[in-house]
Structure 1
Amino acid sequence: MRYKHFGNADVDVSELAVGTWAIGGDNYGPVDREASIEAIRRMIDNGVNLVDTAPCYGNGYSEKVVGEALAGGYRDKVLVSSKVGLVTSVNGYDRDSSFKNIMREVESSLYNLKTDHIDFYFVHWPDMNTPFAETMSALELLRKQGKIRFIGVSNFTIEMIKECQKYGKVDVQQPPFSMVDRQYVDLMKWGCERGIDSMTYGSMGAGILSGKYRATPDFPEGDTRLTFYDYFREPKFSKVQGLLKVMDAVAENHGVPVSQVALNWSCQKGYVGTSLVGVRSVAHADENCAAFEWELADDEIEQLDSELDRLGL
């Protein structure tokens, strides 16, 4: 496993992290609880030292699975990341980063995770009905109390982060980023220059960069891979298929799965701190971690970047 040093947080983090949105079972395909626990532990055994979750992933289910997976000494081996401010409601999700809600949610997350502190605590989405001063005061209080170690923001703009920094220290951020989603590169570079390192989500493009989907999949209505992402809809789906042909050639050259090409492409970017990747089985965990036993050559990265530009991805 390879590691990067996070500036503001001053910790070393594995370039691959466990993402647990899918194992929350929230419109992301079938999930096996025991297989998920085994997969998380295998990732840790392979050197991964960050597990990311959130209370809204299955209305607490994902956090509980993570808490169970980290029993038996595994908690001491990892940094735990969770989030606040996206509350399940009859409308789907409501944003609430108020002082009162943050204090309520952190206790629930600590209980679910079976831990006395959360290492990285993110505001999941900006809540424009709550002043950032109020949100940051709550987070800084939790830091002072020892319930969280580092403050993060997810899906925030540069301007929003600057406003937050007037009232406290932002340590990390969590934007979407992958070969099929490069819209926040400037944000990530800006953060990297200031020690606000990025944990990127959607790192495998909801699975499309694994090479598994060569024809339009028949996902059930409401599946997150269709509602949150656009990779499986035209015209992007056909563009991604063109990219996969180039990735196939690179993968064949190294004798590895296409997924490992996607992981290395992302993690070899200097402005990427770590890539959050979902995992559902031990075999999947081993395949993902094996990506860090080799690296893409500079000319291969240039070739892939050129193809992305040509395709307009």
Structure 2
Amino acid sequence: MTIDTLEKTKTSKKTESFDKITIRGIDKPATRVALGTWAIGGWMWGGTDDDLSIRTIQRAIDLGINTIDTAPAYGRGHSEEIVGKAIKGKRDKLIIATKVGLDWTLTEDQSMVRNASAARIRKEIEDSLRRLGTDYIDLYQVHWPDPLVSAEETASTLEALRKEGKIRSIGVSNYSPDQMDAFRKYAQLSVTQSPYNLFEREIDKEIMPYAKKHDLVVLGYGALCRGLLSGKMSAERHFEGDDLRKQDPKFQKPRFEHYLSAVEELKKFAKERYNKSVLALSVRWMLEQGPTLALWGARKPEQIDGIADVFGWQLTAQDLKEIDAILERNIPSPVGPEFMAPPARKKK
């Protein structure tokens, strides 16, 4: 395992060098920024435009991103279908990560509940392979821990899939250290995925130290905090339909104004100190916290174009202190991403 050895490889004439990181079980290093495709699925993001989404994925690949993260839960399979269309003819050059263990077939309204049973995993892997148009998945991750299924059942089923060649590497998402300990008794674990960004740092307490100790790569989702750290939001922004930000406390008054105030000060800091955007500053911060890989969510090609600005520079210890001070000045009552947790199934 060479997590601590970050390689730099020329990826495109249009970009600078992209940092890369090795994930155990995968034969090519992953770019330390991956394309996240939750919004591309449409569900909980107010719908999607398939053609635009395909162009977004292809734009990311053209710019040098070789890692794409998706899940069946993103649009009930729709995100995987879009990814499958976008990567035709390019599959072998890419690292495809998807997930398992959320089930929408058990409720009348098709809402998601956790189901990481062996039967569900066996069904989902075949569905995901079909949607993605591939015969293997590079990184297969349990989306949320299922309290009604033993770690042995879930982990052993994934380990069997790895040995069968249907998946290359195994990850878990939203797991605690104790849950990962139980999981690792039955499967070779390579990745842990959690919410992680400048505003949501809960994993620094336990998950990050655990990952460093056990040679796990940390996939941080929500790197831009649902768009807050893009630098393009204003207090007048309204969220429609099923957009999850309608339920996110960060996007409700008065907190929304507090977070936007922090973004404005971070934007000024990034410009004056490094001539960078707040978006580039936010992702750069995340990459310097450990063996991390940032998931950059986008559904329009132009939302990818600033990615090269993340690489080729570093923050100093003094920078990190000043960034923390900006957050403390502007956000009197910070909140985490707890609102996103899907419910567990009820015991029968």
TM-score (norm 2): 0.84
2:97 alignment partner in structure 1: 81
Aligned equivalents of 1:107 and 1:221: distance in 2? 31
Aligned equivalents of 2:62 and 2:314: distance in 1? 21
Aligned equivalents of 2:94 and 2:25: distance in 1? 18
Aligned equivalents of 1:96 and 1:270: distance in 2? 31
- Letter of the 1:132 counterpart: A
The question of whether the paired residues in 1 share the 8 Å contact of 2:222 and 2:295 is answered with yes
Aligned equivalents of 1:256 and 1:307: distance in 2? 17
Aligned equivalents of 2:209 and 2:140: distance in 1? 21
The question of whether the paired residues in 1 share the 8 Å contact of 2:228 and 2:260 is answered with no
SS of the equivalent of 2:305 reads: helix
Q: CA deviation at 1:238?
A: 2.7
Aligned equivalents of 2:93 and 2:27: distance in 1? 17
Candidates 259, 263, 266, aligned match of 1:247: 266
2:29 alignment partner in structure 1: 12
Aligned equivalents of 2:172 and 2:268: distance in 1? 37
Q: CA deviation at 1:10?
A: 7.3
Instruction: State yes or no: 1:39 paired with 2:59.
Output: no
The question of whether the paired residues in 2 share the 8 Å contact of 1:246 and 1:304 is answered with no
Give RMSD over aligned pairs.
1.9
Candidates 58, 72, 85, aligned match of 2:75: 58
Aligned length: 310
- Letter of the 1:27 counterpart: M
Deviation string 1:253-279 (CA, Å, 9 cap, x unpaired) is 2333321111111112224x2111112
Structure 2: 5+ residue runs without aligned partners?
A: 1-17, 335-348
Aligned equivalents of 1:234 and 1:10: distance in 2? 47
SS of the equivalent of 1:200 reads: strand
Aligned equivalents of 2:173 and 2:125: distance in 1? 16
- Letter of the 2:64 counterpart: G
SS of the equivalent of 2:249 reads: coil
SS of the equivalent of 1:184 reads: helix
2:337 alignment partner in structure 1: none
**Identity of counterpart residues, as a percentage?**
35
TM-score (norm 1): 0.93
Q: CA deviation at 1:191?
A: 1.1
Aligned equivalents of 2:192 and 2:254: distance in 1? 30
Q: Point out the more displaced range, 237-246 or 181-190.
A: 237-246
1:193 alignment partner in structure 2: 213
SS of the equivalent of 1:122 reads: strand
The question of whether the paired residues in 1 share the 8 Å contact of 2:170 and 2:191 is answered with yes
Aligned equivalents of 1:204 and 1:231: distance in 2? 13
Q: CA deviation at 1:56?
A: 1.1
Aligned equivalents of 1:274 and 1:216: distance in 2? 32
Q: CA deviation at 1:285?
A: 1.3
Candidates 162, 168, 176, aligned match of 1:143: 162
SS of the equivalent of 2:306 reads: helix
Higher helix content, 1 or 2: 1
Instruction: State yes or no: 1:158 paired with 2:177.
Output: yes
